[in-house]
Amino acid sequence: MHLHPTLGILAAALTAIALPLPTLAGEADLSIVGSYVRMVPPGTPNSAAFMTISNGSSSDRKLVKAESPVAKRSELHTHLNDQGMMRMRQVEAIEIKAAAQTELKPGGYHIMLFELQQPLQEGDSVALTLRFDDGSTKEIDAPVKKPQTVMKAENPPEHATMKH
Ligand SMILES: [Cu+2]
């Protein structure tokens, strides 16, 4: 005996309803302040974006991806002190604990922007799309700013003048 066609459709509809619905409530819980992209001299291939991400929700959240039209490729990075040398390393995610904030800052977490597609001049703003582990995204415009402290070159100047 066949199932009545209407009942079949009804059963299918009920199955669909039973699936968990994606929640959109989380999106408003994250806020981003103080974002900026480091100004770099023309011809510099890479730069980085910094910001503070606040999580007002009661669950931990992770930044899992960042994208920008100004860079060919973006990665989430951190800095590690490796025997006195500061090295950058890619991380899979940057965690923002519940009811806390995570600062992306020079010498720490940052969004690395590789292969810049355009020069970054002070006063420009850079579009960034941030994707979080709950599937939500944030679109921000980060101003380009001059670095506040000038990083020392990898090789100290003495090395260049050591030829006797
Ligand atoms: Cu980096």
- One digit per residue, the tens of pLDDT, for the chain of length 164 reads 555 555 555 555 555 555 555 555 444 589 999 999 999 998 999 999 999 999 999 999 999 999 999 999 999 999 998 888 889 999 999 999 999 999 999 999 999 999 999 999 998 999 999 999 999 999 999 999 998 754 444 444 444 444 44
Single-letter amino acid, residue 158? E
Residue owning tokens 């002070």: 122
- State the distance from the centre of ligand 1 to the C-alpha of 27, rounded, in angstroms: 26
Give me Rg for the CA atoms of the chain.
Answer: 23
What does the pLDDT read at residue 81?
87
The closest of 46, 22, 16, 40 to 132, measured between CA atoms, is 22
What does the pLDDT read at residue 69?
97
**Cα angle at 33 between 92 and 90, to 5 degrees?**
15
What does the pLDDT read at residue 155?
40
Q: Exposed (0-12), middle (13-18) or buried (19+): which is 91, by Cβ within 10 Å?
A: middle
- State the distance from the centre of ligand 1 to the C-alpha of 135, rounded, in angstroms: 24
- State the distance from the centre of ligand 1 to the C-alpha of 46, rounded, in angstroms: 9
- State the distance from the centre of ligand 1 to the C-alpha of 110, rounded, in angstroms: 6
What does the pLDDT read at residue 82?
86
- State the distance from the centre of ligand 1 to the C-alpha of 16, rounded, in angstroms: 44
- State the distance from the centre of ligand 1 to the C-alpha of 10, rounded, in angstroms: 53
- State the distance from the centre of ligand 1 to the C-alpha of 159, rounded, in angstroms: 25
- State the distance from the centre of ligand 1 to the C-alpha of 111, rounded, in angstroms: 7
Please give the DSSP secondary-structure letter assigned to residue 32.
E
Using a CB cutoff of 5 Å, list residues around ligand 1, an ion.
77, 88, 112
- State the distance from the centre of ligand 1 to the C-alpha of 146, rounded, in angstroms: 17
- Tell me if 67 sits within 8 A of 129, measured CB to CB: yes
* Maximum Cα interatomic distance, the chain, rounded to a whole number of Å: 99
CATH fold group of domain 25-136:
Immunoglobulin-like (2.60.40)
Regarding pTM above 0.85, the answer is no
